[in-house]
Amino acid sequence: MIRDPESFSILLDTVSRLVREKLIPREAEVTEIDEIPADIVAEMRTMGLFGLTIPEEYGGLGFTSEEEVLTSMALCYASPVFRSRIGTNTGIGAQGIVIDGTAEQKQKYLPRLASGEITGSFALTEPESGSDAGSLKTTARRDGDHYILNGSKRYITNAPEAGVFTVMARTDLQSKDAKGVSAFIVERNTPGLSVGPADRKMGQRGSHTADVIFDNVRVPASSIIGGKKGQGFKTAMKVLDKARLNIAAVCTGAAERLLDEALRYAKERQQFGKPIAEFQLVQAMLADSKAEIYAARSMVLEAARKKDGGENITLEASCAKLFAAEMVGRVADRAVQIHGGAGYMQASAVERLYRDVRLFRLFEGTSQIQQLVIARHMLKES
Ligand code: CAA
């Protein structure tokens, strides 16, 4: 659903202009310094990008799902690390509060997340609990009207930048599964909370992940999201439903860029006396990529519209994430293939994007987890 097509189209044009004029020209610099430059972060704040999906009453733009995915596609025509900088505020680092938070929690945190004054971060994964998220070991032991958190989280996006974390921890210390988990809002400066050094990754330079360590971190009982213990795993899953659909949009935007890079190169590069775009084997790679991007785009939009219509889209989000993450991997591979040796060189955008997009088959649920979610739904419905 697009609430006001005219003003939304102006916003999308503004995002596309930002991408073309400011973000793409700075991609090499971001890779070099492994940081989104402060002036770009400031510009994204001014444009309201940190608050895209936060309700208007808390200072955000209150985007519908369709508006969100279209914006992500447009933004991710530039390196996906720019989106990653705002992505925990528009997604996993704020949505727990948006979806399940109490009125007080929303009032306290959402305005600052919407403005980008603070960065949110989502702490679910642990050293021994990745795909099996319900087995997490971080504990939250009750102590009067407080909880004491102990444990560690791994690969947490934007942890080095974060001002506030959504932390899934076990409040039922006897339990071993998803039922004993609660979600907490934990402020960065709480004593005992520390963030490890930024991880050295295959790609996505400029977007940071790190361990987050909880050593007797004392938080008020009122920091449980929604005020109800034992609901944290469900909150995390609801957040991920929304996030997975958006990652499918991110993959689609990145694939569009990769295909344009490949098409441009195929038209310029001459071999055997003519542009390689005139060879049918190259055309096949371009055509397959175009068709697959169209399919991903259609899936994402259909699922987003369904969500805006109030329907549950757990199945559709997993379908879209599975297809789009695998699709962008194939498109990236073909883009490198069309570039030949030039695509293997670090000066080439497709070399960098090839490594960047590999992440999408892994994070916010691997492709195999999406298959599992899809199959479980099919079996349940039959
Ligand atoms: N919405 C609401 N509730 C849900 C739900 C959803 N989408 N999915 C599950 N639930 C509920 C279930 O109904 C169930 O509730 P009841 O006990 O009341 O019936 C409860 O949650 C437990 O569900 P399951 O039994 O299905 O749980 P499971 O332990 O079998 O796990 C899983 C299911 C799909 C495998 C899940 O563990 C999962 O998604 N794993 C992948 C984790 C993941 O995506 N991690 C990514 C971390 S974030 C990230 O990558 C970003 C970063 O910062 C790097």
Q: Each residue of 246-259: pLDDT tens digit?
A: 999 999 999 999 99
**Which residue has a Cα nearest atom 22 of ligand 1?**
178
Residue with tokens 């958190």: 149
DSSP assignment of 263-281 equals HHHHHH-EETTEEGGGSHH
**Banded pLDDT at 372 (limits 50, 70, 90):** very high
Long-range contact set of residues 128-133: C-beta below 8 Å, sequence gap at least 24: 130/154, 131/365, 131/366, 131/368, 131/369, 133/168, 133/178, 133/233, 133/236
**Banded pLDDT at 316 (limits 50, 70, 90):** very high
Residues 100 and 127 in one domain: no
Buried b (16+ CB within 10 A) or exposed e, 126-137: beebbeebbebe
Residues 12 and 142 in one domain: no
Residues 138 and 111 in one domain: no
Residues 218 and 264 in one domain: no
User: Could you tell me if the CB of 314 is within 6 A of ligand 1?
Assistant: yes
Residues 281 and 153 in one domain: no
The conformation of residue 188, written as its DSSP 8-state character, comes to T
Q: Which residues are annotated as catalytic? A: 364
Residues 238 and 304 in one domain: yes
Q: Would you say 233 and 133 are in contact if contact means Cβ atoms under 8 Å apart?
A: yes
Residue 18 CA to residue 83 CA, distance in Å, equals 12
Reduce the DSSP state of residue 47 to 3 states and report it: coil
Kindly report whether the global pTM for this prediction surpasses the value 0.95: yes
The per-residue pLDDT of the chain, averaged, comes to: 98
pLDDT of residue 165: 98
Residues 179 and 109 in one domain: no
**Which residue has a Cα nearest atom 37 of ligand 1?**
133
pLDDT of residue 209: 98
Give the CATH number of the domain where residue 192 resides: 2.40.110.10
Residue 203 CA to residue 349 CA, distance in Å, equals 12
Q: What percent of the chain stands above pLDDT 70? A: 100
Residue 141 CA to residue 172 CA, distance in Å, equals 8
Residue 124 CA to residue 234 CA, distance in Å, equals 12
Please give the single-letter amino acid code of residue 313: I
Residue 14 CA to residue 33 CA, distance in Å, equals 26
Q: What percent of the chain stands above pLDDT 90? A: 100
User: Could you tell me if the CB of 60 is within 6 A of ligand 1?
Assistant: no
Among the candidates 85, 115, 145, a domain finishes at: 115
Q: Which atom of ligand 1 is nearest to the CA of 363?
A: 50
Residues 270 and 357 in one domain: yes
User: Could you tell me if the CB of 237 is within 6 A of ligand 1?
Assistant: yes
Q: Which atom of ligand 1 is nearest to the CA of 373?
A: 34
Mean pLDDT of all residues in 350-355: 98
Residues 98 and 147 in one domain: no
User: Could you tell me if the CB of 238 is within 6 A of ligand 1?
Assistant: yes
- What total of structural domains would you count in the chain? 3
**Banded pLDDT at 146 (limits 50, 70, 90):** very high
Residues 30 and 150 in one domain: no
* C-alpha triplet 231, 233, 235: angle, nearest 5°: 70
Mean pLDDT of all residues in 127-148: 98
pLDDT of residue 90: 97
The rounded Å distance from CA 170 to ligand 1 centre is 15
Among the candidates 115, 146, 164, a domain finishes at: 115
**Which residue has a Cα nearest atom 5 of ligand 1?**
237
Reduce the DSSP state of residue 215 to 3 states and report it: strand
Q: Would you say 315 and 377 are in contact if contact means Cβ atoms under 8 Å apart?
A: yes
Q: Which atom of ligand 1 is nearest to the CA of 234?
A: 3
Give the CATH number of the domain where residue 261 resides: 1.20.140.10
Q: Would you say 251 and 328 are in contact if contact means Cβ atoms under 8 Å apart?
A: yes
pLDDT (tens digit, 9 = 90+) per residue, 270-313? 999 999 999 999 999 999 999 999 999 999 999 999 999 999 99
The conformation of residue 53, written as its DSSP 8-state character, comes to T
Residue 93 CA to residue 237 CA, distance in Å, equals 13
Residues 242 and 215 in one domain: no
Residue 278 CA to residue 26 CA, distance in Å, equals 32
pLDDT (tens digit, 9 = 90+) per residue, 169-223? 999 999 999 999 999 999 999 999 999 999 999 999 999 999 999 999 999 999 9
The rounded Å distance from CA 278 to ligand 1 centre is 48
User: Could you tell me if the CB of 240 is within 6 A of ligand 1?
Assistant: yes
The domain of 71 spans: 5-115
Residue 142 CA to residue 223 CA, distance in Å, equals 12
Mutate to test the pocket of ligand 1, among 83, 170, 172, 237 (most ligand atoms within 8 A of CB): 237
The rounded Å distance from CA 168 to ligand 1 centre is 12
Residue 5 CA to residue 64 CA, distance in Å, equals 12
pLDDT of residue 346: 94
Residues 124 and 175 in one domain: yes
Give the CATH number of the domain where residue 50 resides: 1.10.540.10
**Banded pLDDT at 356 (limits 50, 70, 90):** very high
**Which residue has a Cα nearest atom 34 of ligand 1?**
373
